[in-house]
Amino acid sequence: MTTQPVAHASGTFTLGGELPITRLGFGTMRLTGKGVWGPPDDHDEAVRVLRHAVELGIDFFDTANSYGPYVAEELIREALHPYRDGIVIATKAGLLRTGEDQWTPLGFPAYLRQEVEMSLRRLGTDRIDLFQLHRIDPKFPADDQIGELAALQREGKIRYIGLSEITVEQLAAAQKVAPIASVQNRYNMAERKAESLLEACEEQDIAFIPWAPLGSGPLVAANGPLHRIAEEHHVKPSQLAVAWLLKRSPVVVPIPGTSRVAHLDENVSAAEVTLSDDEFEALQNVEG
């Protein structure tokens, strides 16, 4: 008797209206070195994490050329290529890396095109499922940045276009240039500044990919405000935070990441946590 992979309990979302993905995905930023710079401390464990994620039913992997830089994309190829049917890889460009924890927006259209081409090579594919503009660079017209991605989409090098760290107004403006399949903003139980953007995504069936889904600091700490509620469910506060996101909206696609297999098992098991409406509302009012 076989058991269904744990991640499948999170349900599915249809990206771009035609590509189904398991809602609980995996973010690869933590697979790199300190400050998201350089290779991981344990290369073999990073490879094991990616392969185990697939075993657990994860089929949506979120990465970026800036993670390392280039390290996370290279690890994905090493661990998962040739990609089995149903594996969906999202990557990004639009941030220049010059050192640990240093991120500089760069949206020059020719640079974006170059990075799409390089990501295709690193990932070992002829089309990127979802390519996201990491930031809209104020130094260049937004229409030119999104327009370059639309051109690459017409050339068949990008299947869907996504945007990161935007406003509702920027989403509406971008949609005049190209269809937008996803939005990725910082959002978690304690940080909900993107609430209006999430609502816009709900209305239009656009994937909302919250980065930093577990939050940080006191909210998910062992002695934080979620501790008692988590104990009642026999889970950790971080797992409760993922369960809350999954219940928040059917368009939410959380991507908790880790560099350790044991922690991956813990994160993915959050898909099996069922919150009642009353519990969800109580958590909605928890302050970080």
Residue 120 contacts residue 91 (beta carbons within 8 Å): no
Q: What is the CA radius of gyration of the chain?
A: 18
Sequence-distant (≥ 6) Cβ neighbours of residue 159 within 8 angstroms: 16, 19, 127, 128, 129, 130, 153
User: What does the pLDDT look like over 71-98, one tens digit per residue?
Assistant: 999 999 999 999 999 999 999 999 999 9
**Which residues sit opposite 204 in a β-bridge?**
none
Distances (CA, A) of 62 to 162, 231, 235: 12, 30, 25
User: What does the pLDDT look like over 193-247, one tens digit per residue?
Assistant: 999 999 999 999 999 999 987 765 556 666 666 777 788 888 888 888 899 999 9
Question: What was the pLDDT predicted at 2?
Answer: 46
Q: Across the chain, which distance is largest between two alpha carbons, in Å?
A: 58
Catalytic (active site) residue 67: yes
The two structure tokens encoding residue 268 = 């993915």
Encode the chain (288 residues) as per-residue pLDDT tens digits.
346 679 999 999 999 999 999 999 999 999 999 999 999 999 999 999 999 999 999 999 999 999 999 999 999 999 999 999 999 999 999 999 999 999 999 999 999 999 999 999 999 999 999 999 999 999 999 999 999 999 999 999 999 999 999 999 999 999 999 999 999 999 988 889 999 999 999 999 999 999 987 765 556 666 666 777 788 888 888 888 899 999 999 999 999 999 999 999 999 999 999 998 988 888 887 665
Place of tokens 């185990």: 52
Question: What was the pLDDT predicted at 8?
Answer: 96
Would you tell me how many other CB atoms lie within 10 Å of the CB of residue 249? 14
Distance, in Å, from the CA atom of 98 to the CA atom of 154, rounded to the nearest integer, reads 32
Place of tokens 């908790």: 256
Residue 13 contacts residue 254 (beta carbons within 8 Å): no
Question: What was the pLDDT predicted at 237?
Answer: 84
Question: What was the pLDDT predicted at 189?
Answer: 84
Q: Which domains does the chain have, with CATH numbers?
A: 11-214+251-259 (3.20.20.100)
Residue 49 contacts residue 258 (beta carbons within 8 Å): yes
Q: Which of 67, 70, 160, 187 is catalytic?
A: 67
Would you tell me how many other CB atoms lie within 10 Å of the CB of residue 98? 9
Question: What was the pLDDT predicted at 1?
Answer: 37
Distance, in Å, from the CA atom of 21 to the CA atom of 202, rounded to the nearest integer, reads 17
